[in-house]
Amino acid sequence: MPTPLVRAVADRTAACPVTIWGFGIDGTLSGLVRASAALDDPVYADRVAALVGPALDGPPAPTDHLIPVPALLALREARPLTAVDAACERWAAAVLDAPEAWPDGPRVHRPDLEPWSSTIWVDCMHTDGPGLAALGRLPEAVEYAAAYAAVLQRDDGLFHHGYDVAARRGNGVAWGRGQAWALFGLVDTVRAAPDDALVARLARLVEALAEHEDDGRWHTVVDDPASPVEHSVAAYLAWGLRRAVRHGLVDAGYAAVADRAFDASLAMLDDGTLVVSEATPVGDRQNYVSRATGVYPWGQAPVLHALLDRIEEEPSR
């Protein structure tokens, strides 16, 4: 994999504005830490340290359930003197203390946030199960992932973007990037804490995504070909689906889907940037098809990781 391409993507990723703490930044921060090692250049890890440093010892906040635990642990592995324990403990407290929608049901992280006070987000699958697993809390990781998936996964294998625990129904939209959050939530949970039921849910999701592939690309509403193509979906599948295959969590035949997604993502790069949709709240179909596009950290991160994965694989080819 050409180093100039990897560096271009890393540079554009590092230049993105990042909200601390916000959805979708785990991959951005961990990707930059990986880029420093792969390119032998501390500037990318320096960027991560500068971004998270002021918030590591901050007071509890409503967004503490979004602290990117795996990324902080990766930063500490690269820089052992980085003090991440307090932030990880705040995250664990925020997640474990979030109220259950009903006994043994999914957790409602932001009951204070209108108009989504009773909303479960598919995004939480990307944070909770993997974060708990990274901290060694394996039973809770499976419990949380299973509770979310039980209400978010539709009969066709795709996931609702949101589920209203008061109305007891999903929003009915299979948001493209949301399928990636579900994919990573399942993959990174079962890698650490094997669970047959979650592996079966992962297989159903991947099968459904493969059915809706459009020449290595997916639409912003996955099962609606009239909706715009959303390039972040291909980028996340290039990274996450290949990871699932590599760890034996899905059929090896899906490597071809991941490779097409990778090729499609590279084809859409412009000077290291991938144009994707802006942050997207839970809503109806029109909410998704009318989003503005631009260069965002949640679009850069999966391209960077997919490139770095292929660098790591090259010696074995």
Q: Which two tokens stand for residue 264?
A: 């499609």
What percent of the chain shows pLDDT beyond 70?
99
Q: How far apart are CA 274 and CA 265, in angstroms?
A: 8
What was the pLDDT predicted at 316?
47
Strand order in the sheet with 169-170: 119-121, 162-164, 169-170
Helices (H), 40-192: 43-52, 69-78, 85-96, 123-134, 138-152, 176-192
| Backbone phi and psi for residue 159, each to the nearest 5 degrees, phi listed first | -115, 135
pLDDT higher than 80, residue 194: yes
pTM exceeding the 0.85 threshold for the entire prediction: yes
CA terminus-to-terminus distance, the chain: 12
Q: How far apart are CA 56 and CA 35, in angstroms?
A: 22
Query: Do strands 276-277 and 162-164 pair parallel, antiparallel, or not at all (unpaired)?
Result: unpaired
Q: How far apart are CA 233 and CA 216, in angstroms?
A: 10
Q: How far apart are CA 201 and CA 212, in angstroms?
A: 17
Q: Which residue bears the tokens 């079966």?
A: 200
Q: How big, in percent rounded to 5, are the helix, strand and coil portions of the chain?
A: 60, 5, 35
For range 23-30, the mean pLDDT: 94
pLDDT higher than 50, residue 169: yes
Cα atoms in the Cβ-side hemisphere of radius 13 Å centred on 156: 14
| Backbone phi and psi for residue 170, each to the nearest 5 degrees, phi listed first | -85, 165
Domains within the chain, CATH numbers bracketed: 3-316 (1.50.10.10)
* Confidence category of residue 1, pLDDT binned at 50, 70, 90: low
* Mean pLDDT value across the chain: 96
Query: Do strands 162-164 and 293-294 pair parallel, antiparallel, or not at all (unpaired)?
Result: unpaired
pLDDT higher than 60, residue 6: yes
Q: 35-69, pLDDT tens digit by residue?
A: 999 999 999 999 999 999 999 998 999 999 999 99
Between the CA of residue 179 and those of 25, 60, 79, 222, 230, what are the distances in Å? Answer: 16, 29, 32, 8, 12
* Contact yes or no for 14/51 (Cβ under 8 A): no
